[in-house]
Amino acid sequence: MNQFDGPSWRINLLPEWVGEHEEDCSLVFHPEGVGALQISSYSKEGTVTEADLRGLAEEHIEAGAKLTEADAGDFKGFTLAFGSDNEFWQFWYVANGPTALFITYNCQAADRDAEIESIKSMISDLAAT
């Protein structure tokens, strides 16, 4: 397995998947794939609470998004999915101790099932570092 480390997290990439750090997030994608996973990390003094995660997701909650509890390896929180303008989006808002991760995956709506199991597999193995 190919490990990809971010600030305070580590993800095991599936074969042929690539990780790159950008200025404000980290990208995970398959070079011949249909979508991209973005991981942004936030820290605070003390423990990130469910209320903190809900604050990050506030615009989606107010828009009526259905939240589902999610385990992302060492991180816990919730996920939501929606489509818009022929695009599919899945968001994860998860935390461990003082670290919150905001994770997004998006692709064309027609391709929504192509990579989602691979994405979920990698996310389910996230480690806090």
Residue 9: strand pairing partners: 6, 128
Q: Measured between alpha carbons, how far is 17 from 14 in angstroms, rounded to an integer?
A: 6
pLDDT at 120 over 70: yes
- Give percent of the chain above pLDDT 90: 93
pLDDT tens per residue across span 43-71: 999 999 999 999 999 999 999 989 999 99
Q: Which of 120, 123, 100 is nearest to 7 (CA)?
A: 100
Residue 82, CB-side half-sphere exposure with 13 Å CA sphere: 12
All domains of the chain in start order, with CATH: 2-128 (3.40.1000.10)
Q: Compare 39 and 1 and report the one with higher pLDDT.
A: 39
Which residue type sits at 114? Answer: A
Q: How far is Cα 102 from Cα 38, in angstroms, rounded to an integer? A: 8
What pTM was computed for the model?
Answer: 0.93
Task: Reduce the DSSP state of residue 45 to 3 states and report it.
Answer: coil
